[in-house]
Amino acid sequence: MKRWVLILAGCWLLAAGPALAGTEITIETRKAGAPPEAKPQRSVVEVEGRSLRAEAGDGRHGAIWRGEDGVLQILDHAEQSIFRIDRATARSLAQGVEGVRGRVAGLPKAQREVVEGWIGGEPPAKLELRNSGERAQVSGVACRLLEALRDGVRLAEICEGPRGASGVTPEALAPARELAAFLAEVGDLLPRSLSADGLEALVLVKQLEGVPLRVRAWPKGGAATEARIVSAHPKSLSPDRFQPPPGYQPGIGVHVRQ
């Protein structure tokens, strides 16, 4: 779903401590039309308690989420920068964006295009999850097919397996559900380069009852993709897995809509 694993990030802890037992989930993503011999991109998601770290298969973005603090941080590895947003700031910014959006129409064209480039020219899309009534199998596990819709247009298809399928326990999914609820509040404020890569479908994770074994996505203006969980296993995670790499700097405000 448009690199949905890129969009996760969180609060960084600097104190050292004992290793923590967590879960590592590996996701493979392929683009439609890719030759059979082409290697899929492999993304890795690590979870522990209410914390989650994800590294995208393309190596460009990473993210850490800490539910205890309600803070999301997105890493840009190429720029060695961090985009950070918390719930209180998000709500304040959202109110400001809506106020600006209501006054944009009266601006001269050049100014209007600049402002719309930052806040977006339209209100957030309506997102919903609908049961298609069909079923499939992923890696031998039966799953039901759900359609993710944006303003009534299909955005993605999710194959939802039963709770605990493929070794993904309810505890391992808990921080993803919490993050999804957070993204439902702040998603319109994230960088376009991320929201254009399937943030909407991730927001809908909080509505799932089971495990999203496979996600097929049709991003607007991009190639269709298929992502599937290929493995999940227990792993000891040290606290520094939920810290940004040394030397990464906070991004400036323009990154909010870049």
Q: pLDDT (tens digit, 9 = 90+) per residue, 99-147?
A: 555 555 666 776 556 555 555 555 566 778 899 999 999 989 999 999 9
Across all residues in the chain, what is the average pLDDT? 76
Question: How far is the C-alpha of 2 from the C-alpha of 192, rounded, in Å?
Answer: 12
Percent of the chain with pLDDT over 90: 35
Q: Is the pLDDT reported for residue 252 higher than 50? A: no
Question: How far is the C-alpha of 100 from the C-alpha of 102, rounded, in Å?
Answer: 5
Find, among 239, 193, 216, 206, the residue nearest to 74 by Cα.
Answer: 193
Question: What per-residue confidence (pLDDT) applies to 52?
Answer: 94
Question: How far is the C-alpha of 218 from the C-alpha of 203, rounded, in Å?
Answer: 16
Domain ranges (residues) in the chain: 4-256
DSSP alpha helices (H): ranges in the chain?
A: 87-104, 109-119, 170-186, 192-194, 200-203
20-43 tens-digit pLDDT:
479 999 999 998 778 878 899 999
Cβ contacts of 117 within 8 Å, gap of 6 or more: 257
Contact (Cβ atoms closer than 8 angstroms) between residue 52 and residue 179: yes
CATH of domain 4-256: 2.50.20.10
